[in-house]
Amino acid sequence: MKKYLSLVTFSHTIFAMPFAFIGFFLAINTTSASFSWLKLGLMILCMVLARNAAMAFNRYLDRDIDARNPRTKQRDIPAGRITAKNALLFTIINCFLFIGATWFINLLCFFLSPIALIVVLGYSITKRFTALCHLVLGLGLSLAPIGAYLVVTGEFALLPILFSLAVLCWVSGFDIIYALQDEDFDRAEKLHSIPSYLGKKNALMVSNLLHVLAAAFVMAPLFLTPLSWPYFLGLAIFIGMLIYQHQLVKPNDLSKVNFAFMTTNGIASVAFAACFLFDIYYRTQL
């Protein structure tokens, strides 16, 4: 189990899972839907299964690339801790379990489940032909709030889409920062990324722009639904962490990329979701 948790880098669940909770409780707070422990459990299960499948497939597909990259050659498949065959089997099992779990939610989630898998698994092939691969990763994680909303309501709405757009821009932006480490390797291997295409300085400008858009999208719900001071606190922390990570990483200094990637974005996601949930609780107590 420890090996497979390492294979899928389970700690990175901290990025999308909080936004799934936002989508779930947003649906309960803004519609007539009632809370269900079963649906909450199925939502969490689907999040874990889809992410497991996506990450395991990424590691399987990139195993030869990872073996050649000094930064990634100690990942589980190139290091020999997990075989490529078992990683692929793990991917397939998680895909089938994900589709099966959606059957117990509602028909819309069930019918959309293959499309969700195509998006989250498809990211792994995109860096072979487009520098927009970061946006595809962002799109995959952006399914969390809208997907969780669909678990509760079985229908689309504007508010969760705004949160999904925020996740798309946020994740795409910080993935570009993370990809700065592989600029030279990607260029040598003819792999596509914003840093290898534009260089570090311009890539950071693109990341900045995406994070400005992310900030705009998390502020947009203020104009569509009642929110109070805990949400404003969450906004301040989230936007503050976006600004802070851009202070940490410079074109000529990538020493703090991992801290900017994991710590600042982990804090941003968890704190923002916690403030959103407390906002709902606070307003229901008034």
Q: What is the pLDDT of residue 5?
A: 72
Q: What is the mean pLDDT of the chain?
A: 93
Residues 19 and 272: their CA atoms lie apart, in Å, by: 9
User: Is 221 within 8 Å of 159 (Cβ atoms)?
Assistant: yes
Residues 58 and 126: their CA atoms lie apart, in Å, by: 11
User: Is 167 within 8 Å of 141 (Cβ atoms)?
Assistant: yes
254-282 pLDDT per residue, tens: 999 988 888 899 999 999 999 999 999 88
Q: Flag whether pLDDT at 286 surpasses 70.
A: no
Walk me through the domains of the chain, giving residue ranges and CATH numbers.
2-285 (1.10.357.140)
Q: What is the pLDDT of residue 122?
A: 94
Q: What is the 3-state secondary structure (H, E, C) of 32-94?
A: CCCCCHHHHHHHHHHHHHHHHHHHHHHHHHCHHHHHHCCCCCCCCCCCCCCCHHHHHHHHHHH
Q: Flag whether pLDDT at 187 surpasses 90.
A: yes
Q: Which residues of 131-167 are buried (b: 16+ CB within 10 A; e: fewer)?
A: bbbbbbbbbbbbbbbbbbbbbbbeeebebbbbbbbbb
Q: What is the mean pLDDT of residues 117-143?
A: 95
Residues 276 and 278: their CA atoms lie apart, in Å, by: 5
Q: What is the pLDDT of residue 184?
A: 94
